[in-house]
Amino acid sequence: GAGVSQSPSNKVTEKGKDVELRCDPISGHTALYWYRQSLGQGLEFLIYFQGNSAPDKSGLPSDRFSAERTGGSVSTLTIQRTQQEDSAVYLCASSPGPNTEAFFGQGTRLTVV
């Protein structure tokens, strides 16, 4: 595809359920990022993948959050036992390499009820 694709675009889940959010980066981009944007808040860094290096997980808010990137392409962000404070827009971005221009997807709006 031409850009970063995220699915689903919207997700409503019950408190305590697990959710998986998917990101398809731009083909050939080695760097992939996940950010979270809560209502009225700035972008909060979650995790960064670069090539085959160990990911930078320093932004994950708790051990309920995890992410994988398979084959250096598609990434999945998993939130276990969701809480209401997890409600936010989750944004994925990719770039050709580290410290290069980043391109964002449209985001997944997660609502935990």
Cis peptide leading into residue 61 (ω within 30°): no
- Two tokens, residue 46: 């979650």
State the nearest-atom distance from the C-beta of 104 to other proteins, in Å: 4
Nearer to other proteins, 93 or 110 (CB): 93
Quote the least distance from Cβ 46 to other proteins, whole Å: 9
Q: How far is the CB of 16 from other proteins (least distance, A)?
A: 27
Binding site for other proteins (CB under 8 A): 4, 6, 31, 33, 35, 42-43, 45, 48, 50, 56, 59, 91, 93, 98-107, 109
Q: Shortest gap between Cβ of 34 and other proteins (angstroms)? A: 10
Contacts of 70-76 spanning 24+ positions with Cβ under 8 A: 72/30, 73/24, 73/25, 73/27, 74/22, 74/23, 74/24, 74/25, 75/22, 75/23, 75/25, 75/32, 75/34, 75/49, 76/20, 76/21, 76/22, 76/23
Query: With respect to other proteins, which residue has the nearer C-beta, 11 or 81?
Result: 11
On whether the CB atoms of residues 94 and 104 are closer than 8 A, the answer is no
Which is closer to other proteins, CB of 25 or CB of 105? 105
Q: Is the Cβ of residue 5 or residue 80 nearer to other proteins in the bound state?
A: 5
